[in-house]
């Protein structure tokens, strides 16, 4: 099998990509910014799905510096570039966040090209597809791009600029390097430890009572394990090269609909989950004081409906039922960080 580099191995999506690759028989190398995080990373991965420890190598490389990237990609057939500045640990300014994402992508692509890597799969986001647009009746597809001239959040702006830069680099300087981009919708799914992925904060906030009512927005959702599966398909399928791929499990669901699934599937353990949707003006006011609401302020009042039909049709991707994903997300959060109910 192949040697694959996964950048940012401690991240939510990256960790599941590492597990999926190991399960598929690949040898995996993954980057961290601090080698002190390696023991905890290995322990979490082994607890989720035991594997031959020798098949996973952890190396140090940081997106903001050139050091370590040539060594990280050496001998690799493929690269999954998952790492990116996030809402969890973002630079202080929007300019710094955009620069870190764009420059980090270019560092990885240059190193991959110079090492004769066959294909890089870039983890982009729905945020590079569906932001800055007026309301629409049809789902977003891979043909859409976020409008960076609109009033959009720094993270979505950074993902858009980074992906644009990636495609331009491959076209002008790639020297045969192939690129595919995966765009996850709102990512749910089990955590591998006491982590706090930004994409799970809505579910966590409903479980622990941080939200007095459901935030007024909707989006398409997807299971992190299905996102990892799509990365592997985009890595090896000849049809995937040069293409963007939306990872969406279905039509948009309002948060209040997600809450209904939680209450139905968890019973008494979901007794703090709200049953009503907040009026938009109230939600915007609360976002000035409630930290969990503040984190999702840019989404309030919007509906991000995205279609995963292209990946299903051309790559054979088959996302799992969303109700199961929602329930398993909550079960995982309760198991790793128990939420007091009652």
Pairwise CA distance, residues 224 & 191, whole Å: 9
Pairwise CA distance, residues 115 & 109, whole Å: 10
Query: Which residue in the list 29, 113, 159, 263 is annotated as catalytic?
Result: 159
Residue 334 C-beta-side C-alpha neighbours within 13 Å = 17
Angle between helix axes 94-114 and 154-173 (nearest 10 degrees) is 30
| 310 labelled catalytic | no
Pairwise CA distance, residues 255 & 250, whole Å: 14
Cα–Cα distance list, 44 to 16, 19, 47, 247, 328 (Å)? 11, 10, 5, 25, 17
Cα–Cα distance list, 283 to 122, 213, 331 (Å)? 34, 9, 27
Long-range contacts of 272-275 (CB under 8 A, 24+ apart): 272/206, 272/207, 272/208, 272/209, 272/339, 272/341, 273/206, 273/207, 274/206, 274/211, 274/212, 274/213, 274/214, 275/213
Residues 6+ apart with CB under 8 A from 281: none
207 and 334 in contact (C-beta within 8 Å)?
A: yes
* Cross-strand partners of 31: 59
Q: In terms of Cα–Cα distance, which of 194, 193, 214, 192 is closest to 203?
A: 214
Any idea which residues carry the catalytic annotation? 159
């Amino acid at each position: 099998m192949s040697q694959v580099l996964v950048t940012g191995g401690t991240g939510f999506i990256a960790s599941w990509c590492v597990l999926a690759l190991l399960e598929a028989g690949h040898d995996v190398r993954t980057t961290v910014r601090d080698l002190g995080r390696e023991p905890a990373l290995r322990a979490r991965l082994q607890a989720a799905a035991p594997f031959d420890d020798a098949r996973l190598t952890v190396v140090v490389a940081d997106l903001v510096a050139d050091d370590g990237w040539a060594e990280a990609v050496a001998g690799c057939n493929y690269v999954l570039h998952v790492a990116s500045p996030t809402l969890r640990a973002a630079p202080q300014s929007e300019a710094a966040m955009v620069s870190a994402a764009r420059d980090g992508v270019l560092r990885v692509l240059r190193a991959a090209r110079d090492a004769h890597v066959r294909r890089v799969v870039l983890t982009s986001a729905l945020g590079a597809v569906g932001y800055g647009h007026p309301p629409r009746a049809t789902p977003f597809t891979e043909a859409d791009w976020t409008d960076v001239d609109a009033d959009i959040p720094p993270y979505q702006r950074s993902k858009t600029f980074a992906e644009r830069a990636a495609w331009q680099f491959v076209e002008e300087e790639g020297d045969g390097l192939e690129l595919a981009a995966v765009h996850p919708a709102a990512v749910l799914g089990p955590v591998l430890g006491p982590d706090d992925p930004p994409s799970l904060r809505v579910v966590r906030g409903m479980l622990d009572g941080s939200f007095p009512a459901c935030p007024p927005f909707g989006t398409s959702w997807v299971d992190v394990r299905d996102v990892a599966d799509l990365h592997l398909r985009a890595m090896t399928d000849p049809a995937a090269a040069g293409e963007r791929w939306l990872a969406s499990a279905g039509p948009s669901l309002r948060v209040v609909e997600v809450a209904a699934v939680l209450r139905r599937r968890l019973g008494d353990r979901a007794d703090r989950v709200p049953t009503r949707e907040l009026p938009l003006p109230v939600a915007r006011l609360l976002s000035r004081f409630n930290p969990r609401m503040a984190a999702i302020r840019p989404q309030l009042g919007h509906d991000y409906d995205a279609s995963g039909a292209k990946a299903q049709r051309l790559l054979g991707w088959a996302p799992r039922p969303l109700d199961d994903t929602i329930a398993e997300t909550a079960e995982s959060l309760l198991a790793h960080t128990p939420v007091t109910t009652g």
